[in-house]
A and B are shown apart, each in its own frame.
Chain A
Amino acid sequence: MDKKSAVVETGTATERARSVEEMLRAPAAAPLAPLPLEVLVPEAKQQTPAVRQRVTRPDGRLHGLGQTKYIDDFYMPGMLYAKVKRAGIASARIISIDTKEAEAMPGVVAVITGRDVPCNSFGPSLKDQPVLADTRVFYSGDGVAAVAAVTEQIATEALEKIKVEYEPLTPVLDPLLSLQLETPGVHAPNPNVYWHKVIKKGDVERGFAESYRVFEGTFRTQMVEHVPLEPHSSLATWDANGRVTIYSTLGRITLGRADLSRTLGIPMSRIRIIATVVGGNFGGKNEITTEPIVALLAKKTGRPVKCTFTRPEEFTSSTTRHPLIMEYKTGVSKQGKLLARQIRLVLDGGAYCSWSETTLGKACILSAGPYEIENLHAEAFVVYTNKTMTGAMRGFGAPQVCFAYESHMDDIAKALGIDPLEIRLMNTLKEGSLSPTSQVLHSVVVADTLKQAAERFGWNGNGSKS
């Protein structure tokens, strides 16, 4: 590392910029490209120059120095700390919320409840989620009140002083039970099934009739929490012209501004969201959580307010991956060709919709697997339960159905005495194949990938490795 002085006055702009970059504390950045830029549009399957290039991540420098600022590393003069009181009960009617004792605590500056939220509902598709539960609690992690105090500890203790009177209701915890019409609606009068998709192709009944054998299997996956190392965090501060700036771990800025505009009842033009480097998202930071809360508390107190989730809150009150119950029925020819497939998916949709619509769609479209199936009927339901919200998590429904259709394929291969690799090669999608929703597929490399993978890990056929 050469010890150039900080001020570099000689040389071209490019040379000066490069020596500033070499300084230790400046994060590395991609070298300036000479203008005009040549625009390269590669052909499908063409090896582009960028692939296989070794590039140093620009943010690695500051990360390793411990200099990267995450939201919880921000402190502002006069800043207050907010904490949210969690219901701790899966389903209940809220009879009353008494915040007087909390408000009187030394060090507590403000307390808000659902009543203080101008429009107490938001959501990426269905606007069924409250900022703070007002009359009903739909899952144990629901927030029912929030406190802003001079220290995090005082805010946490103040939560205990907030008295909430609940009328407990019977929670619905089993998605299959929720699916049945007789079960009382979680969000009555709205039905428990809050989204539904069907994909039909060909004629499954005829396909089954023509099949040599029909296989059935039910597969289940569990709820998964993202566990980003960095907990959710947001910090709100208002300026003199009625505009709010929110620093947040949120990954979708415009969606956040739209949700804040709705919940706070102010135009989007008055809302600025600044998201910096995030300490892990994986889909779990794809929607607002405490942003409207800190905005309201900052407005009420006239001071910046920061709220950071505790690790337990990450588990109880942030979104998770949908558990799926997947029922597969597949008809095959004697040689192992898939002739017909019928699928029913039930997604445990938790207390609020969140990203369930997208997850449902993806799961449904991908549920057939990367295989040519002439006759297909895939039907998917997402249902409310009184459990932690299920939302976006890397894959959005794809991993769950992959587990199902690949396990199912292995079961079929075993029963027919066919090599699991061979049965797949027999059935994979090809160049020009139609997806279940009739999209014409290009750059289809399923068979090539399988063959190369099998070769690389020494697949010797029928479950044996060399």
Chain B
Amino acid sequence: MKAFDFVAARDARHAVALLAERTPTAKVKVLAGGTDLLADLKFAPTAHAPDVVIDISRATELKHISMTDEGLRIGALVTHTEIMASPIIRELFPALVDAAHTIGAVQTRNLGTLGGNLVTAVPSVDSGPTLVALDARVTLLGSGGQRQMPLAEFFVGPRKTALKADELLTEILIPKESVGKPTHFLKFGLRKGQALALVNVAASTWVDWDKQTFVAPRVALGAVAPKVIHATSAETFLEGRAITPDAMAEAGRLAVGDAKPISDFRASADYRRDLIAVLTRRALEAAFELARRRKS
């Protein structure tokens, strides 16, 4: 890689101060786990190389996983391995564990962070759909202070987020209304590991057991649009509807219309549409199954 200045930030505030200081006059990149940044830089033309790399991997205050009154707070530097091992996440959000498990391989997961995965913001981001389906919010810290926004709005387009030049993603919050919400995530890749998703689907729903209807259903799709999206037609259709196999299948068909898949060397748009319909139905079935198991 081309030479760069390397600065190790002590903590998040120090990182933000460094960003504010250097970004006006230099090309700056933030380094956490390195599994995206360093891989990108290895064969990048020197014109794209950064002048400064700010290492935030020592900001240990961003490594928390804690349940509070607001909901579940996950620090941006929590690794995918740590997500998979966390007892509270395993119990309350098994879909997050599943999603983390689909990322790369053991080595990638030991270094790669949740924050890094979200900030890189490829359309097929594997940790994105589950969190979007759970109405997650992200906290951004900048020299002007702190702000929060829905994760769905944080993603702007392919490799583009709402982060300003001097901002750092510090935390992901799953709001208390979503804590324990039955959710299921499915990824379809050409291999079981180390594969980019052709289609990602996360389905999440509460259940009105008396009426046997969907309550606050969410379907989030990845890799089939410039960013992670809500399949809003499917969600609108499911809200308050009786939970039946037909309803879930119909939701799958509607989700196809919400997506804009492309054809590339991995798969045709048609194949991806087929996948969206089937995986949405399966994710809804699994989420409902999880709901039933938890009830009993």
B-binding residues in A (CB < 8 A): 153, 157, 160, 310, 312
Contact = CB atoms under 8 A, between A and B. Distances in A.
B268 interface: no
A157 B43 contact: no
Contact of B46 (A160, A310, A312): A160
Contacts of B46: 157, 160
9 contacts: A153-B1, A153-B2, A153-B3, A157-B2, A157-B46, A160-B45, A160-B46, A310-B43, A312-B43
A323 to B, nearest CB: 15
Interface string B1-13: 1110000000000
Contacts of A157: 2, 46
Contacts of A153: 1-3
Contacts of A160: 45-46
Nearest to B49: A157
Contacts of B3: 153
Interface string B124-148: 0000000000000000000000000
A76 B2 CA distance: 24
Contacts of A310: 43
Interface residues of B, number: 6
B267 to A, nearest CB: 16
A312 B44 CA distance: 12
A43 B45 CA distance: 62
Contacts of B45: 160
Interface string B190-227: 00000000000000000000000000000000000000
A157 B43 CA distance: 11
Nearest to A311: B43
Interface string B34-53: 00000000010110000000
Interface in B12-60: 43, 45-46
Contacts of A312: 43
B45 to A, nearest CB: 7
Nearest to B45: A160
Interface in B219-269: none
Nearest to A310: B43
A310 B45 CA distance: 14
Complex A-B, nearest 9 residue pairs according to Cβ-Cβ distance, in ascending order? A157-B46, A160-B46, A312-B43, A157-B2, A160-B45, A153-B1, A310-B43, A153-B2, A153-B3
A312 B43 CA distance: 9
B289 to A, nearest CB: 32
A310 B42 CA distance: 10
Given A153-B1, A153-B2, 7 more contacts: A153-B3, A157-B2, A157-B46, A160-B45, A160-B46, A310-B43, A312-B43
B272 to A, nearest CB: 21
Nearest to A157: B46
Contacts of B2: 153, 157
A310 B1 CA distance: 13
B41 to A, nearest CB: 11
A158 to B, nearest CB: 10
Which of A157, A310, A312 has the most chain B CB atoms inside 10 A of its CB?
A157
A160 B45 CA distance: 8
A312 B1 CA distance: 15
Interface string B53-71: 0000000000000000000
Nearest to B42: A310
Nearest to A160: B46
A356 B77 CA distance: 52
Contacts of B43: 310, 312
A153 B1 CA distance: 6
A313 to B, nearest CB: 10
B128 to A, nearest CB: 28
A310 B44 CA distance: 13
A153 B43 CA distance: 11
Contacts of B1: 153
A123 to B, nearest CB: 29
Nearest to B43: A312
A310 B43 CA distance: 9
A229 to B, nearest CB: 15
A160 B49 CA distance: 13
A153 B46 CA distance: 11
A464 B45 CA distance: 55
A352 to B, nearest CB: 25
B105 to A, nearest CB: 15
A192 B46 CA distance: 38
A387 to B, nearest CB: 15
B27 to A, nearest CB: 16
Interface string B153-188: 000000000000000000000000000000000000
A157 B44 CA distance: 11
A117 to B, nearest CB: 27
A147 to B, nearest CB: 14
A188 to B, nearest CB: 31
Nearest to A312: B43
A160 B44 CA distance: 11
